[in-house]
A and B are shown apart, each in its own frame.
Chain A
Amino acid sequence: MYTLIELMQLSIYGIVLGSILTLGAIGVSMIFGILRFAHFAHGDLLTVGAYCGLGFLSLTGAPVWFALPAGMAGAAVVAVLVDQAVYRQIRRTQPVILLISSFGMGLIIRSVVQVIWGPDVYSYPGGIQRPWQIWELSIIPNHVWILLAAVVLVALLHLFLTRTRLGKAMRAMSDNMDLALVTGIPAERVIMITWIIGGALAAGAGVLLGMDSRLTPMMGWSTLLPIFAAAIVGGIGRPYGAIAGGMLIGLAMEISTLFIDPSYKLAVAFVIMVAVLIVRPHGILKGAW
């Protein structure tokens, strides 16, 4: 009985972590689908989003939830600027050059965050929350809001991808770049919207992560690896797979602490990733998206 409750409690943490990873992994997956490179600065977009949210709160004194839209806007702007200033210039080179450049961009973004806010640890206002006691489970109110926010963001993304012209064009470009070109789909415009959405979702993950724990300049970088694991498990290039991948990795990481030391969480993420890839080399979902 005790273990069952423990398991359920950890599952709640897993779902919360999973929804944060999902928001990051969707962006990584979309960027890979359209631009064909692994974006290593994605974790740092998460950090930028969290800090932009913090900055907005301290400037305006707005309620804590305003950190989410403010952070999303900030990270979207940073993502587009980085793309226009750096990635666009080397778009036609090999993917490995883009990958290493994004690694460097991540370092630069992280340093800028540290220059502006310093290396100190921050947290969003709100203080410690009393958990709700439901049956034997204790549920932290923020966890409910985090999950809800992630669900709303994913639902909005789904509507965008399936209902709007630009969203469909994004899927089309990810499907078949050459055909998109001869069809007359404006590639640069689609790429820009990809960065806006990828950056905004990363910031969503960053703000939610900040609400769950604290803000440090390293917060995004240290979340990047499980985000990649989630994107790859879901089949990289498929945003819908990233949702399943994020949840699986998040749950596995938290539930593993029942059996092994929590410091091995990250290793668990990669063991799961490798195991899934052995059974299903193209990720857990069937179909292209």
Chain B
Amino acid sequence: MSLLRANDIYGGYGGADILNGASIAVDKDEIVVIIGANGAGKSTLMKAVFGLLHVRSGEVVYRDAPITNGRPETMVTRGIAYVPQEHNVFPSLTVQENLEMGGYALKGDLRPRLETVYGLFPRLAERRRQEAGLMSGGERQMVAMGRALMIEPSLLMLDEPTAGLSPRLIDETFQRIASIRDLGIGVLMVEQNAKQALAIADRGYVLATGANRFEDTGPNLLANREVAEMFLGG
């Protein structure tokens, strides 16, 4: 049984379909990465899973329960967290307030969860009183991930978590994502830095024009000559 399965998804933003039968599955303890050219429907697929755009046909199943076209707030209470690519922090709130908001949907004591997030991102602990909008891109990405982790998700969905970061920060971010997986959380992410993402991924999907082109383990996709030519820059 997979944690999350999306089967044969069709849908878009109201006009023509962007997704044309894409399917993915994520298990707990694994990092699954979606790669593909611009416009292949990677982010769209993630939004469709989270209920942010209408799935016209196909089904999304989470822990054996259908959640197709569910409302985003119910996704959160089920244990699915989503980090958008941009505008993913509350800029006028402090780091700590951002994290508290992340935990809003889950009742109970926030302190142990705050400690977990601060343990994972020590830099956030140092800057807990800083306004998130005044932080660097890398720090903001940490706030965004920390915010999502505050509901103690079983599945974490990340839309291009390394976009716009320096090479050093990209490495650091991927290491963090690996340690999030080691907490037993399933991670589904869309990535442009395909090579590095596949290197830490357990499995990967290559999307083209809204449908699956390849799917395999991370290392196998990295070794695949066709994938390399098309998406990994030769």
Contact = CB atoms under 8 A, between A and B. Distances in A.
Determine the interface band of chain B, counting residues with CB < 8 A from chain A.
20 to 34
B147 A183 contact: yes
A185 B93 CA distance: 14
A175 B90 CA distance: 6
Interface stretch (A163-171, A192-200, A252-260): A163-171
Nearest to A168: B97
A165 B92 contact: no
Determine the interface band of chain A, counting residues with CB < 8 A from chain B.
10 to 19
A179 B92 contact: no
B72 A169 contact: no
A176 B97 CA distance: 14
Interface string A167-195: 01101100110111111111000000000
Contact of A179 (B89, B100, B105, B151): B89
B93 A184 contact: no
A85 to B, nearest CB: 24
Contacts of B90: 171-172, 175-176, 179-180
Contact of A288 (B98, B133, B147): B133
A27 B98 CA distance: 24
Interface of B: 50, 52, 72-73, 76-77, 82, 84, 87-93, 97-98, 100-102, 104-105, 131, 133, 147, 151
B100 A165 contact: yes
Q: Closest 5 A-B residue pairs measured CB to CB?
A: A184-B105, A184-B76, A288-B92, A175-B90, A289-B92
5 contacts: A171-B90, A179-B90, A183-B147, A184-B73, A184-B105
Contact of B92 (A171, A180, A184): A171
Contacts, number: 69
A182 B92 contact: no
Dominant SS at the A interface?
helix
Contacts of A126: none
B190 to A, nearest CB: 15
A183 B76 contact: yes
Given A175-B92, A176-B90, A179-B90, 7 more contacts: A169-B101, A172-B93, A178-B87, A179-B88, A181-B73, A184-B151, A288-B91
Contacts of A181: 72-73
B104 A182 contact: no
Contacts of B88: 179
Contacts of A289: 92
B93 A182 contact: no
Contacts of B93: 168, 171-172, 175
Interface in A217-236: none
A172 B98 CA distance: 8
